[in-house]
Structure 1
Amino acid sequence: MRRRLVQVLPPRLRDALSSRLKPLHPDQGIAARAFDRAFYLKANPDVAASDQDPLEHFLRFGWLEGRDPTAEFSVRAYLEAYPDVADSGVNPFVHYLTNGRPRIRAPQSPYGFRYEVIERLTPMENRLPNGPPPPAAADDILTSALAVSHGGLAGLHITFSHDDYTVHLGGLQTSVRREAERLAERGRDHLHLHPARPWQVVRAPGEAEPLGVVWNGRAVGLFDAATVARVLSRVCAADASGRSFAIHSLLGHEPDQTADILAAAGLSAGVFWLHDFASLCAGFHLLRNDVEDCSAPPADSAGCGICIYGPWRARHVDAHARLFERLRLTVAAPSHTTLDLWTARATFPVAGTVVVPHAGLTPKAPAPVAGSRPFRLAYAGLPTAHKGWPIFRALALKFENDPRYEFLHLGARGDATLPMTFQAVTSGMAEALTAAQPDAVLVWPLCRETFSFVAYEAVAAGAAVITGPDSGNVQAFVTETGHGRVLPSEDALVSAFTSGEILELSRAQRRPMLYDLRYSALSLDLPDA
């Protein structure tokens, strides 16, 4: 177990636990009283897929890996707050349940959360998969799967992304899922390909990795890229006029293998989506050292010279250049701000460009306005730094005792130590926001959002959006529609709460509307799709 100590824990805690770790006691009876099995399986799909008992996994391995037992309990925060518990090797959740449930908060760096992010940066080479790749299946298994088809593969649509959209959550996965749903409605076959393991970079020639195959929404197995190409060349008829493809992410893929697979299906013209900026840099959020927007400067700039992603940038640019040279790609962006930045920085040959927003708003009815209550500010989503969680957290702590405000977090994982209400939400965020009736949602990412479903979901629920100047399409959306406020800095955000200026965004003053969200079919909304 000591070898499985998680990287997310600070070295001091890892060392303490590793040197003083005691054998696990039979604590199942204690932990079972509060352990959230459904949350644990949802948050850890690898455990769900392994047939292990989730509680037993948490007690034996999970807490050492930094996995939380419930949405409200943070293993890391508890161990940082109580070093004696970390030194003892006792399971922190069991200690929490048997010692009066003490209220704790993770200590913060006096230099700010960005310093903490930089301090915990992991070298890129350490983020790549370790060990040999998993074994790949034989041709006949894939051939048999593809034989069960909606239309003999005449209308086949092939998609590529960095993971299995049927298992993982996120904006990109939601986009592929919606594309898959529309394909099914039209009776078209859908072949989705993703790397077997998580890759944060494109693969270079010679880096072996089988591809996970999802066929019409069902996982089939892992296959070598050559196997996928060989099988497609056998089962696809010569007429490819009804087929299409979309590359949603090249992370974990090798560009020549990708082009070879498409050639086997008779395809060379398709769509390349800008869900992020991985085609410009290995730091696909364009965050220098994960804390500052960089706007993709020239590769030989001083900024790239001090960035952890700088040495890996050429790999990404060269790989995407090979992809664009071999294929005729139309670049599709979910927003004008995204396409404008990309076209200003990229030098790849493109067949065309198009903007297709992921969603739109249709007025439905006046939003309900609560009676006298504090201004309710919400954060929607996972509590991650690049999405602005530390900024929301700091607001909640600073105005904890201010009767004018209350704070709400909706997401899959919360922190019970903070002065806010937590509501577990793993799907249906728009509906959850509508029910919660926040006055505003803080959407303050450190990175340029290419679209931001959360911003649209917030407005659909009658909430205003509060954001900063470097938030990409969030800033553009709020500026163009007037659904909220763009503030110039984090200091200005705090000042707006201190002075009470932010109260102008209350529902009582705005009298907002509720909206229906119209979701795009993505690639299928393009001409000739």
Structure 2
Amino acid sequence: MQAILIGRLENDKVVLSFSHDDYMMNIGGVQNVISDESAAFRAKGVLYLHLSPAVPMPMLSPVTQTESYMFSVRVNDTATGFYSATDVIESVTSLIDLGFDITVLMHHLMGHSPEVIDRLLIDTGITSFHLWVHDFFTLCNGYNLLRNNVVFCNAPAVTSGGCGICCYGEGRLSHIQRIQSLILPRKVTLLAPSGPALRNFLKLSPLQWSKAIALPLSSLERQESASPPKLFGKPKLKIAFIGYCNYHKGWHVFQNLAVKNRQSDLYDFVLLTSDIEVPTPGNVEVCEVRVTRNQRTAMIDALVQNEIDVVINWPMWPETFNYALFETFAAGVFVVTNQSAGNVTESVRQAGSARGRVLSNEEDLNELFDNREIFDLVHESDRTKSKLIHSSGSAEVIYAS
């Protein structure tokens, strides 16, 4: 492994990045961030060494010994194979001994062993790292803090009654202790994908941080020359759900709305997703859309091509970013969300009433469609399209000069 690393070095700078899976083989928000920042670092000549669990799992790894833990390794996006933590530590140590500067990024600890990473940092003499809070995994194995996968819990004390009745409660103390043993001895800079994510996490976490920085993952550049569609008098609205069909994304809320309006001649319901095998109500049209590294605008394009008028974006937890929201804005489509959706809620409020509506609950959502107020909102909406510009992630603050 050492020879592979040295053969790829362009200067004396290396980023050592950890996440929960192979970002080149899986699709998702965290994977997008890593892909974007890898490209940005490589453009600066910085070597990007990425470590993910050889055996991904939805929890911390039970393995604590370096000789037994296996990493899946990528160097500058190229897969180099599986290596034991012992091999990785030896290779990273040799780079440091040769005078290379190594910065550590932790995007996600799911599937990792805090004890193994701790040993790596000790043996290499690395005393600080950057920690991303893409969700709340550092506070609970239930990464979106949904008690029993249903209701947001606000990360109560591990001795609380709430944890006592939760499926994640029994193992939460050990989970927190293992992660804190990695964090507490070191200077840790917290990175969050949005301002609301940073504020929410700092409110819930009892730890002190060396620094805490919000790095929004995307921004919108309005295309002023775009001609918005004429909606007045439109007899039907196209209502969509986009992305993964999970409970915590609010898929069930969209399903309920579609079922409730299955006899209506006012609304057509559309699902834009890669989950094309998911069961859907009979009045929901399913369109396959895959946003990949090489097709980042696929969802935006699908929203425009399918002439979607409204997207129901209804997370059941405080989202830390939500790419789907910004894809919707970029396509010039109206958004309806709830008041507890984190960055989704705040972004819709900041965008203004011409871009979306924040509601209190699902009853208000049903009323919006029952009384046809949604037609007025869409007719008065700003349908201007925008270019979605992705950030360079950690490269915004690391080796930025």
- Among 28, 35, 46, the residue aligned to 1:188: 46
Paired residue for 1:455?
325
CA distance in 2, matches of 1:388, 1:197: 29
Answer yes or no: is 1:503 the counterpart of 2:368: no
Cα shift at 1:403: 1.6
- Among 436, 457, 470, the residue aligned to 2:306: 436
Q: Could you report, residue by residue, the CA deviation over 1:116-157 in whole angstroms, capped at 9, with x for unpaired residues?
A: xxxxxxxxxxxxxxxxxxxxxxxxxx23422331415x2211
Q: Could you report, residue by residue, the CA deviation over 1:395-425 in whole angstroms, capped at 9, with x for unpaired residues?
A: 1121122121111111112346531222111
CA distance in 2, matches of 1:522, 1:262: 23
Paired residue for 2:74?
214
Contact 1:437–1:461 (CA<8 Å) still a contact in 2?
no
* Letter aligned with residue 77 of structure 2: G
* Letter aligned with residue 357 of structure 2: R
- Among 17, 33, 45, the residue aligned to 1:175: 33
* Letter aligned with residue 25 of structure 2: V
Aligned residue for 1:347, secondary structure, equals coil
Answer yes or no: is 1:491 the counterpart of 2:367: no
Cα shift at 1:256: 3.2
Contact 2:64–2:116 (CA<8 Å) still a contact in 1?
no
Paired residue for 1:199?
57
Q: Equivalent residues in 2 for 1:321-360 (5 A)? A: 321-360=180-219
Cα shift at 1:509: 2.2
Contact 2:258–2:281 (CA<8 Å) still a contact in 1?
no
Answer yes or no: is 1:379 the counterpart of 2:237: no
- Among 306, 310, 322, the residue aligned to 2:169: 310
* Letter aligned with residue 524 of structure 1: A
Paired residue for 2:286?
422
Paired residue for 1:287?
146
Paired residue for 1:477?
347
- Among 519, 522, 529, the residue aligned to 2:390: 519
Contact 1:437–1:462 (CA<8 Å) still a contact in 2?
no
Answer yes or no: is 1:407 the counterpart of 2:269: yes
Q: Could you report, residue by residue, the CA deviation over 1:420-457 in whole angstroms, capped at 9, with x for unpaired residues?
A: 22211111222322333311211101122111111111
CA distance in 2, matches of 1:345, 1:247: 19
CA distance in 2, matches of 1:528, 1:191: 15
Paired residue for 1:249?
108
Q: Could you report, residue by residue, the CA deviation over 1:72-110 in whole angstroms, capped at 9, with x for unpaired residues?
A: xxxxxxxxxxxxxxxxxxxxxxxxxxxxxxxxxxxxxxx
Cα shift at 1:219: 1.4
* Letter aligned with residue 191 of structure 2: A
Q: Equivalent residues in 2 for 1:156-175 (5 A)? A: 156-175=14-33
Unaligned runs of 5+ in 1: 1-141
Aligned residue for 1:326, secondary structure, equals coil
Unaligned runs of 5+ in 2: 292-297
Q: Report which structure shows greater RCO (CA 8 Å, sep ≥6).
A: 2
Cα shift at 1:240: 4.1
CA distance in 2, matches of 1:198, 1:418: 35
Contact 2:144–2:317 (CA<8 Å) still a contact in 1?
yes
Change beyond 3 A, Cα 1:416–1:307:
closer
CA distance in 2, matches of 1:527, 1:222: 27
Contact 2:259–2:281 (CA<8 Å) still a contact in 1?
no
Contact 2:69–2:116 (CA<8 Å) still a contact in 1?
no
Q: Could you report, residue by residue, the CA deviation over 1:460-497 in whole angstroms, capped at 9, with x for unpaired residues?
A: 11012111122111111112222311111111111111
Single out whichever of 391-400 and 252-261 deviates more from structure 2. Answer: 252-261
CA distance in 2, matches of 1:389, 1:490: 12
* Letter aligned with residue 203 of structure 1: S
Paired residue for 1:268?
127
Whichever of the two has the greater Rg, that structure is 1
CA distance in 1, matches of 2:124, 2:335: 44
Contact 2:8–2:47 (CA<8 Å) still a contact in 1?
yes
CA distance in 2, matches of 1:367, 1:438: 15
- Among 68, 92, 109, the residue aligned to 1:232: 92
* Letter aligned with residue 312 of structure 2: L
Paired residue for 2:294?
none
Single out whichever of 409-418 and 321-330 deviates more from structure 2. Answer: 409-418
Cα shift at 1:353: 0.4
Cα shift at 1:326: 3.3
Cα shift at 1:316: 2.3
Single out whichever of 324-333 and 275-284 deviates more from structure 2. Answer: 324-333
Change beyond 3 A, Cα 1:260–1:391:
same
CA distance in 2, matches of 1:346, 1:416: 38
Q: Could you report, residue by residue, the CA deviation over 1:237-259 in whole angstroms, capped at 9, with x for unpaired residues?
A: 44344x32210001111223213
Paired residue for 1:130?
none
Change beyond 3 A, Cα 1:441–1:194:
same
Cα shift at 1:205: 5.7
Contact 1:240–1:266 (CA<8 Å) still a contact in 2?
no
Q: Could you report, residue by residue, the CA deviation over 1:197-255 in whole angstroms, capped at 9, with x for unpaired residues?
A: 122222356374311111111111111111100122124444344x3221000111122
Measured on the aligned residues, the alpha-carbon RMSD in Å equals 1.9
Cα shift at 1:170: 0.7
Single out whichever of 332-341 and 164-173 deviates more from structure 2. Answer: 332-341
Change beyond 3 A, Cα 1:511–1:476:
closer
- When normalised by structure 2's length, the TM-score is 0.90
Change beyond 3 A, Cα 1:367–1:317:
farther
Aligned residue for 1:239, secondary structure, equals coil
* Bigger fraction of residues in strand: 2
Cα shift at 1:284: 0.7
CA distance in 1, matches of 2:331, 2:184: 44
